[in-house]
Structure 1
Amino acid sequence: MQSGTNTALLIFSRQARAEAEVKSFVPTMGKKGNTSIAQKLIRKSISTARKTRLPFFTCYDTAQHGDTFGERMANAIEGIYAKGYQNVIVLGNDCPGMDHLDLLSVPNKLESHPLVMGPATDGGLYLIGMRQDSYQRQAFIDLPWETSQLQSGLIQYAETSSNAIFWLKVQQDIDNAADFNTLLTCLPGIDPLRQQFISIINSFQTVSRTTNTLGVFLKYLLYNGPLRAPPLA
């Protein structure tokens, strides 16, 4: 069997509204604007997955089960194994710098390495590739998820089970306004994703300016009384 045919991609993510509840990409835009940013990031991950032509599944927060982040991810991964796939590649919505060629390299690497990890600059991960024979449920659940210690925790996980890790190139994930600003700075000006982000930001700035102008006008009415038309000649 070819390496890609027994491998499935799993996009493990919050829905856009839930993502905007915990991440503020552009603080001045509020939840509505940040939801729009989150939606673009999610769509980018889906587009990247589709370009690989590998089977892929999504698991949003509304379909996740478990009391902890580790339990929810473990249950989602086990659901993919239950479908008959031997390898699972998990990605989120927060690493737009990863392209489909990066993903396509993972199945081949899983042939010689039970674990393939994409390290993020903050100590977390933007990708987890795992063969079923390297998966240990409780140890996986107990990893220090959503902390800067996740990479070191995975090294211990691998050592305990005598599994080798292949580390992909380091990438920055997008967790806050500083990360998002760095992304906008690094993306080429003609990059479609950057243009979409700029369009969203500009649209909310226009709304903000209009709202501020209306606010000034209403204050004028409040303190100066209603406007009157000029007297008839």
Structure 2
Amino acid sequence: MKNTTAILVFLQDESKDASNKRLTPKNNIGANQWVFSKLNSFVKQVSAATQLPVFYSNQLISKSSKPFGIQLSEAIQLVFEQGFAKVICIGNDCLALNKAKLLEAAEKLNNSETVLGPDRRGGVYLLGVSKESFEPSTFENLAWQSGKMLQSYLNQYGNQQIEWLETLADIHTFEELKGYQHAKHLIAFLVQTIQQKYSSFQELSVFIFKLCTNSYHLLRAPPSI
């Protein structure tokens, strides 16, 4: 039986992510971009582990100066055009997101019009939408990328049947990344990769060292995704 739910991973250029969020202890663009490349790899791996169909926004829509809401709306509509009735949208900034949580979202979305995974900033780390109730013009004009995003969604779509996931933290700063205790597998992955690609990159070495200081227990064998 054909799967009617797909995952849409919204990915921006790593350079754009790196200019908006600083995930390294110093302002080193190269190191910051490298971290975002690892976050992108991480979210791709987690999505693939669900065995649900996965689409990437940067493969569906071309580079654009359009507002975030319009770009996301266009990508969602393109997934619907592929024959899917439900779309789960995620980004690369929630390290607690894993296979189990994505499958939970898919199950909830089978029996509802919307699934919301709220973050701690007034936004969402996951948004599941249904083709039947999707309204592009309304969706595009929500308070995207602000602390009012979730409330604006509820103001417009509060009459829908909504299922909720647990509240999780996303990451916008180095301090938030360093304190993310759920990220054992990602931290181990970063440490393993640094010697393969950036062994002479001093700034990135400092980043990894600071990230793992007083957190050596994070470097144990990573759990399954």
Same fold (TM over 0.5): yes
Deviations 1:107-140 (A, max 9, x none): 2211222000110111111111001112111110
Asked if 1:207 is matched to 2:183, the reply is: no
CA contact (8 A) 2:31 2:204 kept: no
CA contact (8 A) 1:16 1:38 kept: yes
Deviation at 1:197, TM superposition (A): 3.4
Deviations 1:164-202 (A, max 9, x none): 21110011111122321222xx147xx331123356789
Asked if 1:197 is matched to 2:190, the reply is: yes
* Rg (Cα) greater in structure: 1
Aligned-residue identity in percent:
24
Secondary structure in structure 2 of the residue aligned to 1:105? helix
Unaligned 5+ runs, structure 1: 211-233
Rounded Cα–Cα distance in structure 2 between residues aligned with 1:177 and 1:34 = 10
Deviation at 1:13, TM superposition (A): 1.5
Secondary structure in structure 2 of the residue aligned to 1:197? helix
Which residue of 2 is the match for residue 51 of structure 1? 49
Q: Which amino acid aligns with 2:134?
A: Y
| Closer/same/farther in 2, CA of residues 158 and 32 from structure 1, 3 Å limit | same
Deviation at 1:35, TM superposition (A): 0.9
Secondary structure in structure 1 of the residue aligned to 2:10? strand
Deviation at 1:157, TM superposition (A): 1.7
Which residue of 1 is the match for residue 130 of structure 2? 131
Which residue of 2 is the match for residue 82 of structure 1? 81
Matches for 1:161-200 after TM superposition, within 5 Å: 162-183=159-180, 186-187=181-182, 191-198=184-191
Secondary structure in structure 1 of the residue aligned to 2:89? strand
Unaligned 5+ runs, structure 2: 206-225
CA contact (8 A) 1:66 1:75 kept: no
| Closer/same/farther in 2, CA of residues 45 and 90 from structure 1, 3 Å limit | same
| Closer/same/farther in 2, CA of residues 140 and 101 from structure 1, 3 Å limit | same
Which residue of 2 is the match for residue 145 of structure 1? 144
Cα-Cα RMSD: 2.6
Q: Which amino acid aligns with 2:17?
A: E
Which residue of 2 is the match for residue 223 of structure 1? none
Q: Which amino acid aligns with 2:34?
A: S
Rounded Cα–Cα distance in structure 2 between residues aligned with 1:24 and 1:204 = 21
Secondary structure in structure 2 of the residue aligned to 1:116? strand
Rounded Cα–Cα distance in structure 1 between residues aligned with 2:12 and 2:25 = 19
Q: Which of the two has greater helix per residue?
A: 1
* Number of residues of Structure 1 aligned to a counterpart in Structure 2: 202
Asked if 1:69 is matched to 2:68, the reply is: yes
Secondary structure in structure 2 of the residue aligned to 1:57? strand
Q: Which amino acid aligns with 1:40?
A: K
Q: Which runs of 4+ in 1 moved over 4 A?
A: 198-206
Rounded Cα–Cα distance in structure 2 between residues aligned with 1:163 and 1:47 = 31
Which residue of 1 is the match for residue 218 of structure 2? none
| Closer/same/farther in 2, CA of residues 169 and 207 from structure 1, 3 Å limit | same
Secondary structure in structure 2 of the residue aligned to 1:25? coil
CA contact (8 A) 1:25 1:176 kept: yes
CA contact (8 A) 2:8 2:54 kept: yes
Rounded Cα–Cα distance in structure 2 between residues aligned with 1:187 and 1:206 = 26
Q: Which amino acid aligns with 2:33?
A: T
Which residue of 1 is the match for residue 221 of structure 2? none
Rounded Cα–Cα distance in structure 2 between residues aligned with 1:64 and 1:172 = 28
